[in-house]
Each structure stands twice: as C-alpha cells, then as structure tokens.
C-alpha cells in the first residue's frame, strides 16, 4: 500500500496536495482507501489533466468560432445506404457479413461505462427493462440477438461460430453488470465469450484547476468518456485477446439503443467489401436540434461533430434538396478493423483531445461539510469514441432506417423524447410490422379482427416492406396489437412466415422459442 508521505510527494508534483487535507482525521480504513485511490493517479498525467481542464474553462463555452467554416457534408462516395441500394447489392453485403461471422472473425464491443444520469437510475443502463411483455432487459435483448445472428451465420455456412462479446464497464458499472450477468446465467452465453473490462476514471476539476474532493475520503471521479475505450483496450490486453481468437472486425456500440443490430451482417459486409478500416452507422437526423452527433468532414477529414458542439445555425442549414445539410446522425454503432484499433491504441490515443463538460459536482467545503452545488462548479473531461475517425485510411458511413434500427433510451419518463415508453413502443411497433409482413392477423379480446394498418400511415418502400413509421404517429400511440418477438426467433424480421403466415393471434402475443415450436408443429 502507498504510504502517506509517498502519496503526498506525488500529489505535490501534480500540484494537488489539497486532496489530503482531511487525511489526518480519517479512520484507518478510510485513510487507506483514499491513499489507494490517490496513489493510483500518475502525477504528471494528473497535473496535465487539471491544467487542461482549467485552460478549457478559460475559453468561451459553445462551438469553436471557426468551426462552421471548416465543416462540409461527407462526400456521397463515402456513404452507403441499406435502404436506398438495390436488393442484390444488399444481399451481397449481408452474405459477406455472414461469411465473416461464420469464420469467427467478428466481435461485438459494448460501451457500458456510463452512469445513466439522464435516465435517473443508480444501476447500469443495460439492466433497465422498458416494460416489454417479456420483461427483458437491454442486456438480455442484446445477448439474444448475438445468439440468433451466430445461428443464422452458422446455418448458412454449415458451421458453429462464436461472436465474442466485449463489455467495457467502469468503476460504477462493472460490479452490478457482472452480478447481473451471473444471476441470469449469462443469458445462456458461454462466460468465456463474455469479456468484461474496466475503463479508467478521471477526477472532476474545479474552474481553478484543482481536483475536487467529493467526500473527505473520496475524490470526485468520473469515467473518462466512451473514448476511454482505447486506453482500456491497452490496459486490459483486449486486442491481444481478439488476436488469439482470430477476430478481425469489431462492431462497437453503445448500450442504450433498444433496436441495436449486433454484428449486423449487412453493415459488416458493407464495410468489409468497401475495404474500410473504420465505419459509422447513421440515420437521417429527425430535426435540427436532435441530440445526435453529425458525421461530416472537418477540414476535409471525416469526423463526428457532437450535438453539444455544433451551433444551432449550422444544425439548421439545408441543402438544395431541402434536407438538412448535416443530416447524417451518429447512432453510436461503429465498425473497426482490429488493425485500426491496434494503431489507435498504440499511436494515436494520446492525440485525442478531451471534451469538456461543465457540471454540478458535489464536494466538501473547507470545513469538511458536504455541499450539493446549485450551479455548475466543476469540469469533467471525456474522450469520445468517434474521435479516432480522422485517423482512418478508409472511412465509410452507412445509412439505415431509423424505424428499424434506432431508438435510444436516454431520458426518464418526465422527458417526452427517448424515454422508456418511447423505446418500448419503437420495439413493439417494429415487431408488429414484422408480424404483418409475415402474414399475421390480430384479434381483439372479443375475437374480432383488429383493423390492420391505417392506409394513410403506410409508406411502401424496400420491396414488400410495409413501413409504419412511429414518427408519423401522434405521440404515445400504441401499435394496434401488442406483439413481441424474441430475438432468439428472429434477428431482423426474417423467418417469421412459417409461424405466422395466414394465422390469427390475440393481442398481446409473445412469439418466443416455445411458441415458435408449438406453431411449427
Ligand atoms: C460521445 C458519443 O458517442 N456521443 C453519441 C451518443 O450520445 P450520448 O448523448 O453521449 O449518449 O449517442 C448518440 C446516439 O444515441 C450519438 O448521436 C452521439 O454522438
């Protein structure tokens, strides 16, 4: 254990000795914990972190003044589209994706270190369940989609294959996530193929560059952002683990999108066939202020400009076709080759610039009294996962349908958007569409057939795909029938005809594996 004089000397080098000001009055256990926490902070890095935070604070808030002039939309040749391509091309991409999965070359990596502050929960967001009939959590939906896509790839190629699931957690989420997985028997995944690792934490810093003490024996620490991924990959030898397993392509995604398609073969295949080392899935932005980053070019280089860093004027610009000029909304689904991740982790990571968030950080005052500030008093610095895009040799964006692939759980019920009810509805609406496309009919409680989709709400596209965009429905509208389809039965709406074609079902209807077996018999 680090001794107090040793820790004090290190803190002096970092200019942060004040962190020990209550040390003498702590009980032995508390003191040891504080010394261990402080002893782990590297003095030069801590000094630099606090210096940068204070310097960033000296700049006026908001986007850099010259940013707008440096922005351009991504050139069309870098953008593919799942919905606007011809069906044969889409099939080719999908086939390539399945081939790579069957060869065990694809892994998924979940970014799950966040604190769920906006959602207002004290546990990891992935454990949240939005109120589906099956009561599945986000983690369970994800686990089951991995299992199904492995099965589909295996069937096509007459093999058994594995998609390892890497889960980046933080000090806040590792313990509860690990326990949750154990309690749920890893959702029937082999625990050897679920690899949890922890991202680093960084101290929150006051406006004058001093790390903040949250309690007498605890520094206010926060995860280093989802771009902490690249340090964490090195810290825990994750890339070596991928290499041992033969993984070449990694689908990185964030935890909150209830519709996320893990290891999506179409996306993987598109990126691989394009020879991309780095890719981002996007949806068309719904409205100018939508809180999604935009994929674009800055000084001619592909990049994401985060919603918090783009001015309202720029966000509202429209192109000649009337669409938003910066319309490619980042949905935090990224493709990386292992080689690219290796280069980033070994070479480019130190070049990533942290982003500054000014926050209310609870602290102890000079007398040691805990204070909950009413206005922002501190700075948290975070790296962003997409800040590595400028280092790509070949970057692509891939546009997908929002209704099918994007409904993030960000906010508590008190917020009208991206809340649990909205995400629940997005999933149930999707499953209802899939069931209708597969030829199902639904009955009300009295056995009468429910009217099928109001014609005015149809938007026919993608061949026989019946589109029923939730964005065209008045807020709060439920699908006409409740239908939930287990990801173990269908990953993206495929293969449902054999259970549903021409049959009638009463709402609510849950198509799980047992039900599917019964219907097949
Ligand atoms: C740093 C980062 O990854 N930000 C992402 C992420 O936003 P959060 O508000 O941090 O959850 O998810 C959004 C999509 O849900 C995406 O648009 C945005 O760019």
Q: Give the HSE-up count for residue 443: Cα atoms under 13 Å, Cβ half-sphere.
A: 9
The number of the ligand 1 atom at minimal distance from the alpha carbon of 406 is 15
The number of the ligand 1 atom at minimal distance from the alpha carbon of 384 is 1
Q: Does the pLDDT value for residue 454 go beyond 60?
A: no
pLDDT score of 59:
77
Cα distance between residue 177 and residue 172, in whole Å? 9
Of 275, 273, 319, 272, nearest to 296 (Cα)?
319
Q: Does the pLDDT value for residue 66 go beyond 90?
A: no
Contact 17, 8 (CB under 8 A): yes
Task: Give burial (CB, 10 Å; 0-12/13-18/19+) of 165.
Answer: buried
Query: Using 50, 70 and 90 to split pLDDT, how confident is the model at 2?
Result: confident
pLDDT tens by residue, 242-258: 999 999 999 999 999 99
pLDDT score of 460:
37
- The finding on whether 330 has its CB within 6 A of some atom of ligand 1 is yes
- The finding on whether 408 has its CB within 6 A of some atom of ligand 1 is yes
pLDDT tens by residue, 365-418: 999 999 999 999 999 999 999 999 999 999 999 999 999 999 999 999 999 999
Nearest CA to ligand 1 atom 6: 332
- The finding on whether 384 has its CB within 6 A of some atom of ligand 1 is yes
Give distance in angstroms: CA of 364 to centre of ligand 1. 31
pLDDT tens by residue, 479-488: 999 999 999 9
- The finding on whether 332 has its CB within 6 A of some atom of ligand 1 is yes
Instruction: Please state which of the four CATH numbers 3.40.50.300, 3.40.50.1820, 3.10.310.10, 2.10.10.100 is assigned to the domain occupying 428-520.
Output: 2.10.10.100
For the chain, the domains span 4-58, 67-404, 428-520
Q: Does the pLDDT value for residue 461 go beyond 50?
A: no
This prediction's pTM: 0.94
Cα distance between residue 433 and residue 430, in whole Å? 5
pLDDT score of 456:
44
Q: Which two tokens stand for residue 64?
A: 């850099």
- The finding on whether 187 has its CB within 6 A of some atom of ligand 1 is no
Mean pLDDT score across all residues of the chain: 93
Give distance in angstroms: CA of 118 to centre of ligand 1. 13
Cis status, amide bond into 508, omega within 30 of 0: yes
For domain 67-404, give the CATH superfamily. Answer: Spore Coat Polysaccharide Biosynthesis Protein SpsA; Chain A (3.90.550.10)
Instruction: Please state the φ and ψ torsions of residue 75, each to the nearest 5 degrees.
Output: -65, 145
Query: Using 50, 70 and 90 to split pLDDT, how confident is the model at 63?
Result: confident
- The finding on whether 306 has its CB within 6 A of some atom of ligand 1 is yes
Q: Give the HSE-up count for residue 122: Cα atoms under 13 Å, Cβ half-sphere.
A: 0
CA angle 246, 250, 251 (to 5 degrees): 145
The sign one gets for the Cα dihedral 296, 353, 405, 107 is: positive
pLDDT score of 462:
39
Task: Give burial (CB, 10 Å; 0-12/13-18/19+) of 410.
Answer: middle
Ligand 1 probe mutation, 114, 289, 332, 417, most atoms within 8 A of CB: 332
pLDDT tens by residue, 89-116: 999 999 999 999 999 999 999 999 998 8
Query: Using 50, 70 and 90 to split pLDDT, how confident is the model at 455?
Result: very low
pLDDT score of 453:
64
Instruction: Please state the φ and ψ torsions of residue 269, each to the nearest 5 degrees.
Output: -60, -45
The number of the ligand 1 atom at minimal distance from the alpha carbon of 293 is 19
Give distance in angstroms: CA of 76 to centre of ligand 1. 23
Q: Does the pLDDT value for residue 463 go beyond 60?
A: no
Non-local CB neighbours of 494 within 8 Å, separated by 6+ positions: 152
Rounded percentage of the chain residues whose pLDDT exceeds 70: 95
């Amino acid at each position: 254990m680090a001794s107090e004089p040793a820790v004090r000397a290190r803190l002096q080098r970092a200019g942060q000795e004040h962190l020990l000001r209550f040390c003498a009055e702590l009980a032995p256990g508390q003191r040891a914990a504080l010394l261990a926490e402080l002893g782990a902070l590297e003095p030069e890095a801590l000094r630099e972190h606090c210096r940068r935070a204070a310097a960033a604070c000296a700049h006026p808030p908001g986007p850099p003044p010259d940013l707008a002039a440096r922005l351009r939309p991504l050139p069309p040749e870098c953008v593919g589209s799942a919905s606007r391509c011809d069906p044969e091309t889409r099939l080719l991409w999908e086939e390539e994706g399945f081939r790579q999965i069957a060869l065990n070359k694809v892994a998924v990596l979940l970014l799950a270190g966040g604190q769920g502050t906006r959602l207002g929960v004290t546990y990891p967001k992935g454990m949240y369940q939005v109120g589906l009939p099956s009561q599945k959590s986000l983690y369970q939906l994800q686990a089951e989609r991995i299992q199904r896509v492995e099965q589909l790839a295996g069937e096509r190629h007459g093999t058994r294959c594995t998609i390892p699931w890497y889960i980046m957690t933080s000090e806040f989420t590792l313990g509860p996530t690990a326990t949750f997985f154990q309690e749920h028997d890893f959702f029937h995944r082999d625990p050897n193929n679920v690899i949890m690792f922890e991202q680093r934490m960084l101290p929150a810093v006051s406006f004058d560059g001093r790390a903040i003490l949250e309690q007498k024996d605890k520094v206010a620490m926060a995860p280093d952002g989802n771009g902490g991924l690249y340090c964490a990959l090195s810290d825990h030898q994750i890339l070596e683990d991928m290499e041992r397993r033969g993984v070449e392509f990694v689908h990185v995604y964030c935890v909150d999108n209830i519709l996320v398609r893990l290891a999506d073969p179409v996306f993987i295949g598109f990126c691989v066939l394009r020879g991309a080392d780095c890719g981002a899935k996007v949806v068309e932005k719904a409205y100018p202020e939508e809180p999604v980053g935009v994929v674009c070019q800055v000084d001619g280089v592909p990049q994401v400009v985060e919603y918090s860093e783009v001015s309202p004027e720029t966000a509202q610009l429209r192109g000649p076709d009337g669409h938003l000029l910066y319309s490619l909304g980042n949905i935090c689904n990224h493709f990386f080759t292992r080689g690219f991740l290796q280069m980033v982790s070994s070479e480019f990571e130190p070049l990533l610039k942290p982003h500054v968030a000014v926050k209310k950080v609870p602290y102890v005052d000079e007398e040691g009294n805990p204070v909950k500030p009413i206005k922002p008093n501190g700075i948290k610095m975070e790296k962003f996962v997409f800040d590595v895009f400028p280092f790509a040799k070949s970057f692509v964006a891939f546009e997908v349908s929002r209704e099918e692939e994007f409904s993030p759980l960000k906010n508590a019920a008190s917020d009208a958007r991206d809340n649990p009810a909205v995400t629940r509805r997005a999933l149930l609406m999707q499953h209802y569409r899939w069931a209708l496309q597969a030829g199902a009919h639904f009955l009300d409680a009295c056995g009468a057939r429910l009217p099928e989709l109001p014609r005015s709400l149809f938007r026919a596209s993608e061949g026989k795909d019946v589109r029923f965009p939730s964005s065209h429905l008045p807020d709060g509208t439920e699908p006409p029938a409740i239908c939930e389809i287990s990801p173990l039965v269908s990953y993206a709406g495929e293969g449902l005809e054999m259970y549903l074609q021409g049959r009638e079902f009463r709402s609510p209807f849950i198509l799980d594996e047992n039900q599917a077996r019964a219907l097949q018999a």
